Structures are given as structure tokens and as C-alpha cells.
Amino acid sequence: MQPYDLTQLELRHLLALQAVARSGTFWGAAEDMGCSQSALSQQIAAMERLLGVTLIDRHRGKRTVSTTEAGRLLLRHAEVIVARMRAVRADFTAFTQGAAGTLRVGTFESSGTHLLPPLLREFRNRWPAVEVKLTELSKDDQLLRLVEQGDLDLSFAILPLPAGPFESQILLEDPYMLVVSRTATFPGIKPNSVRLSRIKGMPVIGFGQGRSMEQAESQIKSQGIELNIVFRSNYNGVVQGLVGAGVGCAIAPRLTLDLRRTDTRVLGPIKDLQPRLIAMAWHKDRYRTPAAAAFIDVARRISEGLQTAHQRQKRRG
């Protein structure tokens, strides 16, 4: 069998295949692509001739279509190729804009609450011509996928990073704390010497599943402790609020907590639980503008200041 000659396979062909698979109809895909239905059909047919396989199953008598097994195989490669081309476009946009333009940054709730406000304030003072466009999602691995695709320039993330084309700068350690109701009494727990063994059997308000909590709960399980989780929430305020209402305690990273609340007490850090590591991540193969590099540097210095303030608070406590 002769090897395939793919020199005639073009990006527009892959985009057409993605559009048909996404829409399920030729007319819908043509509308998404901004071309005629006949032009789109010709692109699909050209790929099928080139590869010698049927990519789209055209159901007789029906308007809808679906991808064949061969079509799904090509789609997996198309997703990677199109993502890389989007990253190329983002690179050259950043390159031509230089110190102006838009810097797209991904964040999650706890980094957005405590790190982002002072970071943006200082960065805007230094780079007033750069617009910072924020994207917030509950899970950092979702943000990292956007970095890989070229849809974000930078993102807050939890170390270790998942597999992918990433580099990172560690910002700070975020220790896990024990949060209890203000009215609850725990005679066996010292405020600055909390051990996981003391939490065993207590009702726990947990966070929604994400990489940082998966890491923490894996550490806890490795020590032979099964948490008695009675409820989970993706929202920091809900977790702390339910603790304040006496529903249970919580094991929470310090940055997720509002230390001004009067209905909860924060004990810790938990001695036998490794802190989560918060970092700034970016695509290692993409061009980083001076503005992006400056944003990372400001984030590092703001984080160092926050870490120092926490250490002073701990010594006073």
C-alpha cells in the first residue's frame, strides 16, 4: 500500500470536517463557515478522495449526517492541528501588538479573590496601554486547555501541572486549614497544631472535585483516613457558610477563606497535609510579550508579599 500523500490536505478541509461534525448537517456547517453548502460538500468530498475513505455518513432520506469511524479518527488529529494554528494566530497577534493590546488571563475563584485585585492595580499602573481580559472557571485544567489552544496567554494554576506544553512560575504555597463553627468546641485540637487524625469521623463540607482537592483528599486517604463528606460545593462562600451554620467542618486552602467572618474559626495550618502550590502558567512554545512577562513578575511579587503577611499573622497567633 502506497503511503498517503497529504500535501493537498489543507486547514480549510479540517475546519469543514469539524463544522459538519459539530452541526450534524451540511447546511448548518456551511452557515457556520460562511460559505455555500455546495462548496462545503466539495471540501469534504476532496478529503474523502485524497484519503480513499468515507468520512461522513450521509443518511439517505434524512437531512442529518454523522461522522464515520474514519471521520472520527481524522477529527482527533484535526482538533490538535487547529488548536496549534489558533496558537500561531495568537502568537503573531501578540508579537505585532507588543506592549499594547490585550493580555488574556485565566483565573479561578480563590486566586481571583486574594491575588488578582492588587495584581491588576499594580500592573495597570505600569502597563496602562494593555487591556487585561479575564476568564474565570472553577477548574484550572479547563483554563490550561484554553492556554494550550491559544485562547489564553496566562493562567493561574495548581502544581503539578497536567501533561501538556506548559511552563510555570510558582507564586506561593497555600496551606490547608481546618474551618469550624465559631460555637463548636474541639478540646483535642490546638489552633496551630491541627492533625488529620483529629478530623477523622467529623462531618466535612467538601469542595467540588478539582485538581487541588483531589490532591488533598488523596493525601488524606493515603494516611488511612476516610473523610465523612456530607456536602460538596464549588463556591468558597457556600462551604464556609455551611460550616458557620454548624453543618460540619471544612478542610480548605487558606486563599479560599474569608478571615473576616464572625461565624467561623480558622485553625491550622494542618500539619500533615502538604499545601497546594499556586503558579502562573503559559504555553512554553508560544511567544510571550513583554507585558505577559511583566504580569508574571508582578504576580510573583504580590504573592511574596501575601505570603510574608500570612507568616507574620501566624507568628502573632
Tens digits of per-residue pLDDT, 124-159? 999 988 899 999 998 899 999 999 999 999 999 999
Q: Which residue has the higher pLDDT, 95 or 74?
A: 74
Residues pairing with 154 in the sheet: 105
Give the pairing type, strands 228-233 and 203-207. Answer: parallel
CA distance 126 to 296: 13
Q: Is the pLDDT of residue 313 over 70?
A: no
Q: What percentage of residues in the chain have a pLDDT greater than 90?
A: 47
Res 229: pLDDT: 92
The answer to whether the CB of 90 falls within 8 A of the CB of 43 is no
What integer is the mean pLDDT of 306-310? Answer: 77
Lowest mean pLDDT among 9-13, 207-211, 236-240: 207-211
Q: Is the pLDDT of residue 296 over 70?
A: yes
Res 32: pLDDT: 87
Q: Is the pLDDT of residue 80 over 60?
A: yes
On average, the pLDDT of the chain sits at 87
CA distance 211 to 159: 9
Domains located in the chain, CATH noted:
11-85 (1.10.10.10), 98-173+277-316 (3.40.190.10), 176-274 (3.40.190.10)
Res 96: pLDDT: 66
What integer is the mean pLDDT of 255-266? Answer: 91
Q: Is the pLDDT of residue 237 over 80?
A: yes
The answer to whether the CB of 222 falls within 8 A of the CB of 273 is no
Res 199: pLDDT: 82
Which pLDDT band, with edges at 50, 70 and 90, does 177 fall under? Answer: very high
Res 175: pLDDT: 92
Which pLDDT band, with edges at 50, 70 and 90, does 1 fall under? Answer: very low
Q: How far apart are the first and last CA of the chain?
A: 75
Q: What percentage of residues in the chain have a pLDDT greater than 70?
A: 91
Residues composing the chain: 317
Residues pairing with 194 in the sheet: 270
Res 95: pLDDT: 64
pTM score of the predicted model: 0.69
Which pLDDT band, with edges at 50, 70 and 90, does 101 fall under? Answer: confident
Lowest mean pLDDT among 27-41, 71-85, 133-147, 300-314: 300-314
Which pLDDT band, with edges at 50, 70 and 90, does 173 fall under? Answer: very high
Q: Which residue has the cell 499594547?
A: 100
Q: Is the pLDDT of residue 307 over 90?
A: no
